[in-house]
Amino acid sequence: MVSAYVTNKMRNLRDAYSSALIELGYKNEDVVVLDADLALSTKTKRFGTVFPERFFDVGISEANMMGIAAGLATCNKIVFASTFAVFATGRCYDQIRQSIAYPKLNVKIVATHAGISVGGDGASHQMLEDIALMRALPNMRVLAPADATEMEDVIPVIASIPGPFYVRIGRADAPIIFERHRKFRVGKAYVLRKGSDVAIISTGTMTAEALKAYDILKKDGIEARVIHMPTIKPIDRNAIRRAAKETGAIVTAEEHTIIGGLGDAVSMAMMDRPVPMVRVGVNDVFGESGGARELMEKYGLTAENIAKQAKKVIKLKK
């Protein structure tokens, strides 16, 4: 079991991304970084300040950025390409499919501003379908770190593994839940709380909400198993099947549409041995403009709703 607690310390995953990139840049001269006119927002500008000869801002030309990334990868470069999630996946899906995923090129797409918590920018910028889009692509690995600590653990690991990756992070600061760094393993789930009444499987910054839900349920005498799933593809089938067998009920939690994301991946993993399951996510609707926390509450992406759904799915066991 991995030690994790929702602390009062807050840190932005974009800051962690830039720090990890710079450290990686010092260690490996083959690392190059691309952005599409949003380098100040994605924080990749910091890498460009330290390594200007290895940083390329292509302007508002995301599809072209993916083509350039693919070209650099054919020259044995380790390429990180960043922009907002809505542009990184939706605007240039064909280029990712044809030029990166199909030839298995060494491009790491790290997308920021994912999910409903983008807030005031509204539905046009709240990317809720990116996991589904990237999961569907052969050869693509899909990750969603929980906090800044894990983000710093993820970047060097994916840089060391050949082939394409998609990493999604949000806009807002997130609570630190992992105070110690560890060797991150792609495709590995992490049990953060033990329990046998229900399993809560979460990804990204929803893991902090899952840990809070555990505390709510514990007060009512319910022992929940909290499983953090930072890798959505390839997913840890063994952890899911073990949780299904030992708890008999599952709740998934993600800041993404319930269609095609973590919930669907979990249900597919236990298709031959199904148990009662509820998916917490955005229920097949677009978002709207509002404060980040206000929107999380309106769309049920909270510890309180996770706990409510856990109680509901426990009843279905009987």
Q: Which residues are catalytic?
A: 62
Distances in whole angstroms, Cα of residue 243 to Cα of each of 56, 205, 236, 249? 45, 21, 11, 8
Distances in whole angstroms, Cα of residue 46 to Cα of each of 41, 49, 52, 58? 11, 5, 10, 16
Q: Which of 262, 237, 260 is nearest to 251 (CA)?
A: 262
**CA-based angle 150:103:85, to the nearest 5?**
40
Contacts of 295 (CB under 8 A, 6+ apart): 116, 117, 119, 287, 288
How large is the angle between the packed helices 13-27 and 148-160, nearest 10 degrees? Answer: 40
Q: Which of 220, 281, 263, 255 is nearest to 116 (CA)?
A: 255
The SS3 call for residue 192 is: strand
Contacts of 20 (CB under 8 A, 6+ apart): 151, 152, 154, 155, 156
Q: Can you name the residues that pair with 143 across neighbouring β-strands?
A: 167, 231
How large is the angle between the packed helices 206-219 and 303-317, nearest 10 degrees? Answer: 60
Distances in whole angstroms, Cα of residue 206 to Cα of each of 265, 266, 275, 287? 16, 16, 22, 17
Q: Which of 120, 119, 184, 118 is nearest to 147 (CA)?
A: 184
Distances in whole angstroms, Cα of residue 134 to Cα of each of 30, 170, 262? 25, 16, 12
Place of tokens 């309180």: 304
Sign of CA dihedral 261, 264, 270, 271: negative
